[in-house]
Each structure stands twice: as structure tokens, then as C-alpha cells.
Amino acid sequence: MKALKLLLFTGLFVLISYSTQAQNEKHPWAIGIGTNFIDVSEAGIGRFGTQVKDYFRIDKDLNNVPLPTRLYVARYLKNGFTADLTGSFNKIDEGASGSVAEGNYYSADLGIRYDINKLWGKSGWFDPYAKFSVGTIWVDKDMGAVLSPALGFNTWFNESVGLNFETSYRSNAAFGNSELGRVKKIGGYHFQHSISLVYRFGDNDSDGDGVLDKDDLCPQIAGKQELFGCPDTDGDGVADKDDACPDLAGSLNGCPDSDDDGVIDSEDKCPNLAGDAKDGGCLDSDKDGLSDNKDKCPNTFGPIKNNGCPWPDTDGDGVTDNLDNCINEKGPKTNNGCPVQLTEEAKKTLGTYAKTIQFNSGKAEFKPGVTKTLDIIVGVMKEFDGVRFDVEGHSDSSGDDASNLKLSQERAQAVVDYLTSHGIDNWRLHAVGYGETKPIASNKTATGRALNRRVVLSAIESEE
């Protein structure tokens, strides 16, 4: 029996070679069954030195029953704290020197443990704890309240099974009339040591990754705690189950996006140049629907059918070549860009009204009422949209040749300006002054000179 005291202390050093892990959220519950030893040495009676000397003696004072005599249940709380409820039985027949009376010994305690490993933030092969408990003891018919500080540690053979070692210093106050608590003023003192086989249980961690199955999004595959138990093969912070590219690190749904344009490289037609997702990750500078890498005119809006370039208007008639049936001849949109033929009747009408366009003498100013004539001419020209005209200016022989040539040009231009201001395209009109070089009557009479001061509208049948 005395040798069991030595076994208690040597076991502390033999069994710490097993890997350990504190009771925690993974295995919140534990149950232990084992044996206990009541040491009724001179603790609390003699001087401190005598107490220490007597505590380490193995030839007396140690009481044990060779049966399972200790049972406890423990529940992990949080932040390293665990609560336990412990019951034990023993028989006192050794060293009953006044601190505990002889007889059958029963105890029940409620304790709080603190995992000392929490002080440095890691659990290792050695899992010590400090404990304080309150409870009661009975020795035969006498009962006392117990205050008990304790130290202990666990060592685990695997995830569930291990050993618990604990030693407590127990102080009690007597409630009976027997020898229990003989030291009346300060109560009785003794030690209780225990060794228990422990089984811990609770939530499972099927894949052993440190994340409980109830919290593990990938309970059958070991993963990272920060990813709720799921693996991250490429180490990009995105769990494989959510990673579109699990073997290739990237920031966009787990895939690389070199130009940060929101299109992953494998789908980006321009992976090194930021662009728009709708353009396959390429840039479309002119927003014409064709990305710059395919656009022959990347900075000018143009249809896709023309490779992103504007359709040309070769003949400059305002009808683009794709819609122009006569790309080298000017013509109105109403005639698909082809010239319109002026009828003989229209020619006569224009010729008649052109003769009535008169100017103030020596000036390029219209006489009163001429604009009504010009409005009629505008109507005819619009009816035959696309027909081009020479607007000829003529003068009489009054003045010198240079002045007459200049004046006739100004008068022709005055007609053109009026017509274009009323909706006739400028490209359809060509102003030319002939001066006095093409008279239609004699300049010797006033009547003849009046006839020579004229405007002539001539249809241009074809472009030179």
C-alpha cells in the first residue's frame, strides 16, 4: 500500500511521453473513473517544514481501497475553464493522527479547472491545470464542508482516451462530535491524490482538421480552420469547393485576373489589358461594340460590319457607300445616292424664273420681290433633289472688265447663298461669274443692258 504513493509521483513523469491535448470545444465532455489516495500526514498541524517532509514520506499515512473509488464528470466551458463534479470513496486506517478520523470516507465536490497552457496560448504534450473546488466529506456519520485547491494534468493516448492525475489539499470544518476536525479552531487538513482513466466525448471531427463536424463545411476532407474546415489547394484563400480554379491561385472566384478587369484570364481575350466584361475583357475605346484589338479604327465609332470604321462617302453626297447605289456620282438619299434627271418641264421653269432675278445697279443686292422667285426655285430644286447646278452670273458692259467680272461672281454667289440658306445642299450648287463676256443682247441700249444683267441656272448632267 505504501508503494502506491511512490507510484503516484513516478507516474507523473512516465506518462507525459504521450501526446496530449486539453479538453476543449472539440471534446467538451469527459468522464473519468479511477482510484484515490487519502494522505493524512501532519499537514496543517506541524510547522511548514514538517508538513513538506511528511508529505513526501511513503511509509505511512497513505490510504487506498483497491477498487475503482473515484468517478467524475467534466464539461468544458470556454476560455480554458472546465467545470467538474467528482465523487470518491476511501477507508481511513493509516496515519489517522488527528487531522482525519478513522472510518469510511466519502466526498462529493464541484470544481472549476483552468488550463494553464492557455497562459501561453498553445496545447502541447503536457496539459496541466489548476483547480479549486467546494464540497462535503463524510467519515462514518460525521460531515464537513471542504475547500480544496488542486493541481493536476491530463495525458492522452488518442483523441478520446487518456489518464488524469490530480492532487488536492483539502481543508474541512467538522459538523459532528467525533475525532473529525480535532483541531477545532482551524478544522482538519489532509491530501487526496487520484489517478483516473478518462474518456472524453462530444462533437466529432471526422477529418481531424481541428474543425468540429457541426461547423465543418467539408467534414470528410481535412482543411483549414479559417475556411471552416475546407481545403485550399492553391492557397489563394478561396476554399476548393468555391474555387473556380482550385489548382491555380487567383483573386477572382479563386482564378487569376492579371489585369483586374473582372474577367478571369482563361476567359479574357486581352488578359494583360483591362477591358469590359461584355467585350470579353478587351477595351473598346470608341464604344462601337468592337474591341480595340479587332477594330481597324479603334478611336472612331464605326459599324462592326466595316471593322469598326465609319462607312465612307466617296462621292460626298451625304449617302454613305454602303447605302449608295452610285458611289462615284452624287445623288439624293431619296434616290439611293444616284443622280436624279431633271425633266424638260423643270428646266423651262427654272430658266423662266432665273431670268426674273434682278439686282440693284452696280450691286449684288436683290431688287424687291426677287426672293419670292427664289423660293419657287428652291421648291423645284428640292423636288429634284440631287441634281447639281451651275449658277451663272452675267453683267452688262458698263464699267471696266475686272469690275464686271467681280460683280457677276458676287451676284451668282448671292443666289447660291440664298438657296443653301433655304435647304439646298451646297455641293449641288456651283457659282461662276462671267462678267460681260456672254451678252444675250446689245449693250448699246438700256433694254439690252438690262437683259445682259442676269442669272442663269444650268443643270450639270454629269460630273467631269
Is 62 among the domain residues?
yes
* Category of 287 on φ-ψ map: left (φ > 0), alpha (ψ -120 to 50) or beta: left
Sequence-distant (6+) residues with CB within 8 A of 293 are 269, 270, 282
Specify if 184 maps to a domain.
Answer: yes
Last residue of one domain, picked from the residues 157, 175, 201: 201
Task: List Cα–Cα distances, 425 to 258, 285, 410, in angstroms.
Answer: 53, 33, 19
Spans in the chain with pLDDT lower than 50: 1-21, 43-49, 175-187, 464
Residue 139 lies in a domain: yes
CATH number of the domain enclosing 15? 2.40.160.20
pLDDT score at 167: 96
**Cβ of 369: how many Cβ atoms within 10 Å?**
9
Predicted local distance difference test score (pLDDT) of residue 56 = 55
Any domain includes 264: no
What distance in Å separates the CA atoms of residue 110 and residue 113, rounded to the nearest whole number?
Answer: 10
Give the pLDDT of residue 199.
94
> Residue 18 contacts by C-beta under 8 Å, 6 or more apart in sequence?
125, 155, 156, 157, 162
Residue 240 lies in a domain: no
Do 146 and 191 form a contact (C-beta atoms < 8 A)? Answer: no
Domain CATH code at residue 368: 3.30.1330.60
pTM of the predicted model as reported, rounded to 2 decimal places: 0.45
Closest CA to 45 of 252, 143, 251, 185: 185
Residue at 161 is within a domain: yes
At 170, list the grid cell. Answer: 483539502
Residue at 104 is within a domain: yes
Q: Is residue 245 part of a domain?
A: no
Number of domains in the chain: 2
Phi, psi of 189 (to 5 degrees): -130, 140
Q: Backbone phi, then psi, for 238, in 5-degree steps?
A: -110, 120
E strand intervals along 79-213: 81-92, 103-115, 127-139, 142-156, 161-174, 188-201
Task: Please answer whether residues 276 and 282 qualify as being in contact, where contact means their C-beta atoms are separated by less than 8 angstroms.
Answer: yes
Take residue 340 and report the three cell numbers written for it.
Answer: 436624279
Q: Which residue, of 164, 180, 201, is where some domain finishes?
A: 201
The domain boundary, picked from 158, 175, 201, lies at 201
Domain range enclosing 355: 344-460
Residues 364-387 pLDDT 10s: 889 898 999 999 999 999 988 878
